[in-house]
Amino acid sequence: MILPAFILSAVLSSAMADGTASITVTVDGIEIGSGHLVVGLYDSAEGWDGETAIDGRRVAVTGDVAEIEFGPLPAGRYGIKMYHDVDDDGQLDTNLMGIPSEPFAFSNNAMGRFGPAAWPDASFAVDAGENAHAMSFR
Amino acid sequence: MFANRREMIALMTAAGGMAGLPGPARAEPGDPVFEAFEAARPEQPWTLGYADAPAAGLDGVAQRLTGRLPEGLEGVLYRNGPGRFSRENWRYRHWFDGDGLVQSWHLEAGEAPVHAARFVETRKWRREEAAGRFLVPAFGSAPPDEEGLSGPDGMNAANTSVMMLDGDLLALWEGGSAWQLDPDTLQSDGPRVWGDGLAGLPFSAHPKVDPDGTVWNFGQDAARNALVLWQIAPDGSLRRADMVGDVPGGMIHDFAVTERSLVFLVGNLRFERMRLPYLESFRWDGSRPMRAIAIDKADWSQRRTWDLPPGFLFHVGGAWERTDGTICLDAAMSGDARFAIGGAYDVMRGVAREETVSQARLHRLVLYPGGRSEQSVFDDGYAEFPQVDMRLTGLERRYTWHVGWQPGQIQGPTDIVRRDLVSGATQRFSHDADVIVEEPLFVPAGPAEGEGWLVHTALNTRAAATELHVLDARNVGDGPVASWRLPYACPLGFHGCWRPA
């Protein structure tokens, strides 16, 4: 999910000309104070549905809130998928029926319908400059 | 069901425009279902059974009406049922949506029964209580501005039954985790996780306990024609849990066990495609048979199946297996599912009506080796909440106790009935017409089948109060040997369990 930094900088150099954007994601509702948050950033419906993130973070959990920075990025529409890897095994644990058993969330705090949230519900506009986006586990 | 659902929508539309229909719009003042129910309350005393209980719960002492607590009948009766139906003047559309209200009745010699009721503090309850409105789609309702669901446990209302398991009290629902409660205070601990990879799996509201204490249960994944099967040791530890496929996605609420088999009846309210609210994923399909499936307790890959006439059921009485593999079973079955997908919506609007074919009657089934079966019905009245002497779970037995009522009694059951499955004879006690009776739980006293007490609650709609009655299970027709009445009414519940002192 995490692209090498040099590819990102190459991709982004063209966007710099149009002005760059950044996203500060604040996360609350973290119930267990250990493990890592695994966060993926997406810039299209195809990428969202096809699980091809343009950037990703693995952030150690130190409390019930966290902050994650993305950028520089071109302005546009973005979506975020996130789960809490409570047991640090590097994957979203699921039960026998395939239902996630670790906390997860989508941008806009969009919820799925017995599945992942859809891109139209989870994507949000990112303008040039600094952008804030709040997410919550629940 | 289509006619019924259309009818409901048409009525709602007529009553208050489209504002109250499930959808993205926030409820405008005047939710038609909420208003219809409030308007019905003064004229329809039975609606008390479907009204909200206080969020903090209830505490009270019951006053004696008649008789004395029988010697030896000391312990706690726990019951569960939906108890919260509306928030912000918006009311659930379906009876089964209400948040679980667990009640305890402490019975002690020489003392008046002490009653308490507490809501199960599921995640859903805590978040919605804090928000002051409903946030998630429920089993049969989509509240305004609902947020969607991350999984089945997100709408777990823990509202269907209770069980004692090695000192723990579990509040049970059909589609998600069992919720652990403190049996003394009724305070909620959280979902029970039985082992790795098992969090959030459905653990149905009708576990069965073998005479040796082994607990069997199931959960349904109707979308994938599958079940999860559970085998739990008497100490509450997991023996086995696994998925079993090729079980048609007809809504399964209850099952039966024999000494050798786990027996499922798959009715004709079939999963069609995933929709929210979840109940709308199901459609009546009378074009196919009802399917009976007996899964070998020792080897879950081994099964026998039978095709039966189309029908629907919530509850099984019990089953046993002859040495040649023939399975005998009794269940409260109906010709269609119009209560689940019609009547249980109607009561939320304050409308009670009778659809004769939709009411359950006690049926006997005999499932022979080779796929042949026989079915017969006890055609002398409606029957629900069948109960057995649980010491004979899975074994040959003679009696089933249940609530009963007759055509024309639209507000529901008034009778407690003992059915002799062999002769068909009944003992029946009819409470007054203003009384709605709830599940009669058998509590053993002597060694023989049926030697014990029936303990049941009832809503006296004239007195606007909930009552507790004790009957001699062998002499049901004599009526209660003891009765008490609370100073308040509780919402009608579903199922209970008994914890001996």
Q: How does pLDDT run across A73-115, given as a tens digit for each residue? A: 999 999 999 999 999 999 999 999 988 889 999 999 998 777 7
Establish if B229 touches chain A: CB-CB under 8 angstroms.
no
The residues that bridge with B307 in the sheet, in sequence order, are B291
Measure in Å the smallest separation between the Cα of A60 and chain B Cα atoms.
23
Can you tell me the distance from the alpha carbon of B497 to that of B501, in angstroms, rounded to the nearest whole number? 13
Q: Decide if A114 and B243 are in contact by the 8 Å CB cutoff.
A: no
Establish if B240 touches chain A: CB-CB under 8 angstroms.
no
Q: CA Rg, chain B, in Å?
A: 21
How much is the pLDDT for B14? 33
Higher pLDDT: A10 or B264? It is: B264
Q: Decide if B274 and A96 are in contact by the 8 Å CB cutoff.
A: no
Residues 6+ apart with CB under 8 A from A134: A25, A26, A27, A28, A109
Burial class of residue B462 (count of CB atoms within 10 Å of its CB; 0-12, 13-18, 19+): exposed
Identity of the residue in B127, B200, B228 whose CB atom sits nearest the CB atom of A138: B127
Tokens, residue A52: 């091809």
Chain B 98-127, CB below 8 Å of chain A: which residues? 123, 127
How much is the pLDDT for A19? 59
Measure in Å the smallest separation between the Cα of A47 and chain B Cα atoms.
21
Chain A residues within 8 angstroms (CB to CB) of chain B: 93-97, 99-101, 104, 109-114, 117, 121, 138
How much is the pLDDT for A138? 75
List pLDDT tens digits, range B435-490.
Answer: 999 999 999 999 999 999 999 999 999 999 999 999 999 999 999 999 999 999 99
DSSP collapsed to 3 states, B433-449: CCEEECCCEEEECCCCC
Winning range, highest mean pLDDT, from B6-10, B99-103, B411-415? B99-103
| SS3 at position B425 | coil
Q: Where are the domains of chain A?
A: 5-136
Measure in Å the smallest separation between the Cα of A15 and chain B Cα atoms.
35
How much is the pLDDT for B410? 85
In terms of phi and psi (left: phi > 0; alpha: psi -120 to 50; beta: otherwise), the region of B394 is: left
ipTM (interface predicted TM): 0.76
Establish if B147 touches chain A: CB-CB under 8 angstroms.
yes
List pLDDT tens digits, range B66-77.
Answer: 999 999 999 999
Q: Decide if B149 and A96 are in contact by the 8 Å CB cutoff.
A: no
Identity of the residue in B148, B223, B241 whose CB atom sits nearest the CB atom of A110: B148
Measure in Å the smallest separation between the Cα of A93 and chain B Cα atoms.
8
Q: Where are the domains of chain B?
A: 2-500
CB B476 within 8 A of CB B401: yes
* Chain B interface, best mutation among A84, A86, A92, A99, by max B CB count within 10 A: A99
- DSSP for B260-294 reads SEEEEEE-SEEE-S--SSGGGGEEE-TTS-EEEEE
CB A69 within 8 A of CB A24: yes
Measure in Å the smallest separation between the Cα of A32 and chain B Cα atoms.
15
Q: Decide if B199 and A110 are in contact by the 8 Å CB cutoff.
A: no
CB B123 within 8 A of CB B99: no
The letter for the amino acid at B176 is: G
pLDDT of A1 > 50? The answer is no
pLDDT of B429 > 60? The answer is yes
Measure in Å the smallest separation between the Cα of B36 and chain A Cα atoms.
30
How much is the pLDDT for A18? 55
Mean pLDDT of A1-24: 53
How much is the pLDDT for B10? 35
Q: Is the peptide bond before B144 cis (omega within 30 degrees of 0)?
A: no
Chain B hits for A94, CB-CB cut-off 8 Å, are 197
Establish if B152 touches chain A: CB-CB under 8 angstroms.
yes
How much is the pLDDT for B28? 57
List pLDDT tens digits, range B352-383.
Answer: 887 777 899 999 999 999 999 999 999 999 99
Q: Decide if B274 and A113 are in contact by the 8 Å CB cutoff.
A: yes
Q: Average model confidence (pLDDT) for chain B?
A: 93
Q: Decide if B197 and A113 are in contact by the 8 Å CB cutoff.
A: no
Q: Which residue of B has its CA nearest to A102?
A: B199
Q: Decide if A95 and B200 are in contact by the 8 Å CB cutoff.
A: yes
CATH numeric code, B2-500? 2.130.10.10
Question: Which CATH superfamily is A5-136 part of?
Answer: Carboxypeptidase-like, regulatory domain (2.60.40.1120)
Q: Decide if B221 and A109 are in contact by the 8 Å CB cutoff.
A: no
pLDDT band at A30 (very low <50, low <70, confident <90, very high): very high
pLDDT of B400 > 80? The answer is yes
Chain A hits for B198, CB-CB cut-off 8 Å, are 95-96
Measure in Å the smallest separation between the Cα of A97 and chain B Cα atoms.
7
Contacts by residues B375-380 (CB-CB < 8 Å, ≥ 24 positions apart): B375/B308, B375/B309, B377/B333, B378/B419, B378/B424, B378/B426, B380/B426
List pLDDT tens digits, range A47-65.
Answer: 999 999 999 999 999 999 9
pLDDT of B388 > 80? The answer is yes
Tokens, residue A110: 């969009």
